[in-house]
């Protein structure tokens, strides 16, 4: 949460470079944005110039600010303080010579604020972040004995400030007296990028792609001093130097662009057929390795948040249906009670697009403390989860920028299906199923099918509630479909096990209640149809998603059968329905209100 981008180098257009960087990070938070620059022109009273505003960044490529070669900026997802211009980052100290941007929550900010106010500091925002600027100011006074000592004094002041912060935080601080950015991380992600005559900091490696592919992912309690000439890393507590662990990013800058699509979400939906074919044809070596390890473990637990938790749930069905292995799964924010009973020789499989979801990282951290082996499926290679895992598999979805997960969910599911098949030495059968799923996906995303989905979205756009039902894997599809519809179109949608309708939800069905039914031709087909009939008999308006039309369907979206992998095209149809419902209702599918991608706070 919150996008961070910082630049220092030869170019004098640092504010505009930062603005562009922020635009690539807007999916991390879009309540407000801001840029700060140390102006190039020396004035007698040199202060940091800040431009910040509530709302989205907009289309401008250049920010109207003084020239400078040191600037940083922030896109906000509000935690402390309302969404106002004043609460947007960067925040300044009293002298306006120190600026800070921050991702996380300073848990002891009230105590610090009271202390600082007592020392005469004046606060202008309601944020926890502002205490950081004033605290650095206070320490800088203490450490700046001689003016020529300014640079080391500044980093020492940031270090002392960081040590006082409680909670999980990433901070970057700049100062008019030192030509550098000083940053530190505990919990929230931060990446340093190595350029030529210029260097960078960002919250997300994808933002660095137009500039450099050489990066260092900061570990917890690492500090970094980024100047034009270099990047120096050290331990925030001991001060000991840390060797940069340079890593090469594999994504390209073009992959982070929208291309011909109006929204990232649509682009990402359309990438899925190709990604499925790729996964089906690449070497399954890593899936086989993980399958072997999971097979050995007496108990396997799967965990994720949001859409990734739905992938974990679906995987538990794959593992029992395909590999005969009972797998326990759960959502990360509700996993604590399971942690205490996982045996030492158990295995924890963590699923995540970003590899930075705080609820998930907390589970993994606690599991590691118990010496439980961690396996992960991650999209962002090098992310915190990636580095914490004993074995990891890159799901290979490429940059995903729509806040609603689409291709990262589908690629996770595809790999989990292969792992389940690999557990019974039948990985080839898994690959065949993925090829079927890719073919079916191509059909459901074709022009003709898209038109049918668009027409349905038009009909449903004013609905307030949608019920989505399915049995077995289709129940997992129902849950994920409901999440997609809710989060971007703001229509209340609920995924329900088809067999559970009669245990409560049927009471809500009246004439015209819309019910989406996933009815693939599997062992549950007949009972699903019977459940759909229960809805229909009470006035329900039935939308069938199946490979065959049935009389009880009032609307029908065809999905060619792909065996056990039919869950894949089924969910893709729901992604498209969610997308077109959102367009019909006039909302932005890439940036749903109140949400942000990569949830790095608890
Ligand atoms: C919903 C969505 C979220 C994420 C969740 C976990 O469309 O994207 O529910 O799935 O925040 O994120 P990752 O997978 O990055 O751990």
Q: What angle do CA 278, 568, 327 make, to 5 degrees?
A: 100
Whether the CB of 389 sits within 6 Å of ligand 1:
no
3-state helix, strand, coil in the chain (%, to 5): 40, 20, 40
DSSP 463-498: -SEEEEEESTHHHHHHHHHHHHHHHHH--EEEEEEG
Query: Measured in angstroms, how far is the CA atom of residue 186 from the centroid of ligand 1?
Result: 21
Whether the CB of 306 sits within 6 Å of ligand 1:
yes
Whether the CB of 575 sits within 6 Å of ligand 1:
no
Q: What is the mean pLDDT of residues 135-157?
A: 83
pLDDT of 144 reads: 80
Whether the CB of 546 sits within 6 Å of ligand 1:
no
pLDDT in tens, 263-303: 999 999 999 999 999 999 999 999 999 999 999 999 999 99
> Coil, helix or strand for 201?
strand
Atom 16 of ligand 1: nearest residue by CA position: 352
Atom 3 of ligand 1: nearest residue by CA position: 306
From 207-211, 295-299, 598-602, the region with the lowest mean pLDDT: 598-602
pLDDT of 42 reads: 62
CA distance linking residue 82 with residue 169, whole number of Å: 19
Sequence-distant (6+) residues with CB within 8 A of 51 are 15, 34, 35, 63, 64, 65
Of 15, 24, 26, give the one whose Cα is nearest residue 62. Answer: 15
pLDDT of 448 reads: 97
Q: What is the mean pLDDT of residues 554-559?
A: 98
The answer to whether 100 and 90 are in contact (CB under 8 A) is yes
The answer to whether 383 and 354 are in contact (CB under 8 A) is yes
Whether the CB of 359 sits within 6 Å of ligand 1:
no
Helix ranges (H only) for 381-472 are: 384-388, 407-422, 427-444, 447-460
Q: Which atom of ligand 1 is nearest to the CA of 310?
A: 10
pLDDT in tens, 294-320: 999 999 999 999 999 999 999 999 999
Query: Measured in angstroms, how far is the CA atom of residue 380 from the centroid of ligand 1?
Result: 13
Atom 10 of ligand 1: nearest residue by CA position: 307
Q: What is the mean pLDDT of residues 29-33?
A: 91
pLDDT of 147 reads: 59
CA distance linking residue 481 with residue 496, whole number of Å: 11
pLDDT of 44 reads: 54
Q: Which atom of ligand 1 is nearest to the CA of 599?
A: 11
CA distance linking residue 213 with residue 233, whole number of Å: 18
Q: Is 597 annotated as catalytic?
A: yes
Query: Measured in angstroms, how far is the CA atom of residue 597 from the centroid of ligand 1?
Result: 7
CA distance linking residue 437 with residue 428, whole number of Å: 14
Atom 11 of ligand 1: nearest residue by CA position: 306
Residue 79 pLDDT > 90: no
CA distance linking residue 584 with residue 577, whole number of Å: 10
pLDDT of 344 reads: 87
Pocket test for ligand 1, best of 416, 599, 600, 601 (most atoms within 8 A of CB): 599
The answer to whether 300 and 327 are in contact (CB under 8 A) is yes
Whether the CB of 308 sits within 6 Å of ligand 1:
yes
Pocket test for ligand 1, best of 27, 357, 593 (most atoms within 8 A of CB): 357
Q: What is the mean pLDDT of residues 163-176?
A: 96
Q: pTM (2 decimals)?
A: 0.94
pLDDT of 67 reads: 94
The answer to whether 41 and 49 are in contact (CB under 8 A) is no
CA distance linking residue 521 with residue 518, whole number of Å: 10
Query: Parallel, antiparallel, or unpaired for β 241-242 and 169-175?
Result: unpaired
Q: What is the mean pLDDT of residues 554-560?
A: 98
Domains located in the chain, CATH noted: 3-255 (3.60.20.10), 260-445 (3.40.50.10490), 446-587 (3.40.50.10490)
Residue 43 pLDDT > 60: no
Of 248, 252, 220, 218, give the one whose Cα is nearest residue 232. Answer: 218
Q: Which atom of ligand 1 is nearest to the CA of 354?
A: 15
Q: Which atom of ligand 1 is nearest to the CA of 408?
A: 14
2, 51, 401, 407: the active-site residue: 2
Residue 262 pLDDT > 90: yes
The answer to whether 221 and 261 are in contact (CB under 8 A) is no
From 139-153, 334-348, 379-393, 463-477, the region with the lowest mean pLDDT: 139-153
Q: What angle do CA 355, 599, 20 make, to 5 degrees?
A: 90
Q: Which atom of ligand 1 is nearest to the CA of 357?
A: 16
Q: What is the mean pLDDT of residues 495-520?
A: 97
> How high does pLDDT run on average in the chain?
95
> In what helix (H) or strand (E) does residue 199 lie, and over which residues does it extend?
strand 198-202
Whether the CB of 307 sits within 6 Å of ligand 1:
yes
pLDDT of 146 reads: 58
pLDDT of 419 reads: 98
pLDDT of 150 reads: 59
Atom 7 of ligand 1: nearest residue by CA position: 404
pLDDT in tens, 410-420: 999 999 999 99
pLDDT of 1 reads: 77
Integer CA distances (angstroms), 143 to 140, 152, 405, 584, in order:
5, 9, 47, 59
Query: Measured in angstroms, how far is the CA atom of residue 577 from the centroid of ligand 1?
Result: 19
The answer to whether 524 and 472 are in contact (CB under 8 A) is yes
Q: Is 515 annotated as catalytic?
A: no
DSSP 233-281: EEETTT--EE----EE----SGGGS-TT-SSHHHHHHHTHHHHHHHHHH
Strands (E), 322-388: 327-331, 347-352, 373-378
Residue 382 pLDDT > 80: yes
From 30-44, 240-254, 495-509, the region with the lowest mean pLDDT: 30-44
Whether the CB of 305 sits within 6 Å of ligand 1:
yes
**Given pLDDT bands bounded at 50, 70 and 90, which one contains residue 600?**
confident
Q: What is the mean pLDDT of residues 97-121?
A: 97
């Amino acid at each position: 949460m919150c996008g961070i981008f910082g630049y220092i180098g030869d170019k004098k257009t640092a504010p505009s470079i930062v603005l562009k960087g922020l635009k690539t990070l807007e999916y991390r938070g879009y309540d407000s944005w801001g840029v700060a620059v140390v102006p190039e022109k020396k004035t007698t009273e040199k202060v940091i110039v800040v431009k910040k505003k509530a709302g989205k960044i907009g289309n401008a490529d250049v920010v109207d600010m003084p020239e400078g070669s040191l600037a940083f900026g922030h896109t906000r997802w509000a935690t402390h303080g309302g969404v106002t211009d004043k609460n947007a980052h960067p925040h300044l100290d009293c002298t306006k010579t120190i600026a800070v941007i921050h991702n996380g929550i300073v848990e002891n900010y009230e105590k610090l604020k009271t202390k600082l106010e007592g020392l005469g500091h004046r606060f202008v925002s309601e944020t926890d972040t502002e205490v950081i600027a004033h605290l650095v100011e206070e320490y800088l006074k203490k450490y700046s004995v001689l003016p020529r000592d300014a640079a080391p004094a500044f980093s020492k002041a940031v270090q002392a400030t960081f040590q006082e912060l409680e909670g999980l935080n990433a901070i970057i601080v700049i100062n008019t007296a030192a030509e550098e950015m000083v940053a530190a991380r505990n919990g929230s992600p931060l990446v340093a990028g190595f350029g030529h005559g210029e260097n960078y900091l960002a919250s997300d490696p994808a933002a660095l792609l137009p500039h450099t592919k050489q990066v260092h992912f900061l570990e917890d309690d690492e500090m970094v001093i980024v100047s034009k000439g270099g990047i120096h890393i050290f331990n925030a507590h001991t001060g000991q130097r840390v060797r940069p662990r340079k890593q090469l990013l594999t994504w390209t800058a073009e992959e982070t662009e929208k291309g011909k699509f109006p929204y990232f979400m649509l682009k990402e939906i359309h990438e899925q057929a190709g990604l499925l074919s790729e996964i089906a044809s690449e070497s399954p070596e890593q899936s086989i390795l993980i399958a072997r390890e999971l097979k050995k473990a007496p108990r396997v637990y799967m965990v994720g948040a949001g859409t990734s938790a739905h992938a974990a749930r679906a995987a538990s069905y794959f593992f029992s249906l395909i590999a005969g292995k009972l797998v326990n799964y759960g959502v990360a924010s509700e996993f604590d009670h399971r942690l205490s009973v996982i045996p030492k020789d158990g295995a924890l499989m963590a699923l995540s697009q970003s590899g930075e979801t705080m609820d998930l990282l907390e589970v993994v951290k606690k599991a590691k403390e118990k010496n439980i082996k961690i396996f992960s499926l991650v999209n962002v290679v090098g992310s915190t989860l990636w580095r914490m895992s004993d074995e990891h598999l890159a799901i290979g979805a490429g940059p995903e920028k729509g806040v609603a997960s689409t291709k990262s969910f589908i690629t996770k599911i595809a790999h989990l299906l292969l792992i389940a098949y690999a557990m019974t030495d039948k990985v080839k059968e898994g690959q065949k199923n993925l090829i079927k799923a890719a073919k079916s996906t191509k059909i459901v995303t074709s022009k003709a099918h898209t038109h049918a989905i668009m027409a349905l979205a038009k009909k449903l756009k004013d609905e307030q509630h949608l019920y989505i039902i399915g049995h077995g894997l289709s129940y997992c599809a129902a849950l994920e479909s409901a999440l997609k519809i809710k989060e971007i179109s703001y229509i209340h949608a609920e995924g329900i096990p088809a067999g559970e309708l009669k245990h409560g939800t049927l009471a809500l069905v009246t004439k015209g209640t819309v019910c989406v039914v996933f009815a693939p031709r599997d062992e549950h087909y007949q009972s699903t149809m019977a459940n759909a009939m229960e809805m229909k008999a009470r006035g329900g308006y039935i939308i069938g998603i199946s490979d065959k039309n049935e009389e009880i369907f009032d609307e029908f979206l065809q999905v060619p059968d792909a065996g056990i992998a039919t869950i894949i095209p089924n969910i893709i149809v729901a992604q498209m329905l969610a997308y077109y419902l959102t367009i019909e209702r006039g909302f932005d599918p890439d940036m749903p209100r109140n949400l942000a991608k990569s949830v790095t706070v608890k």
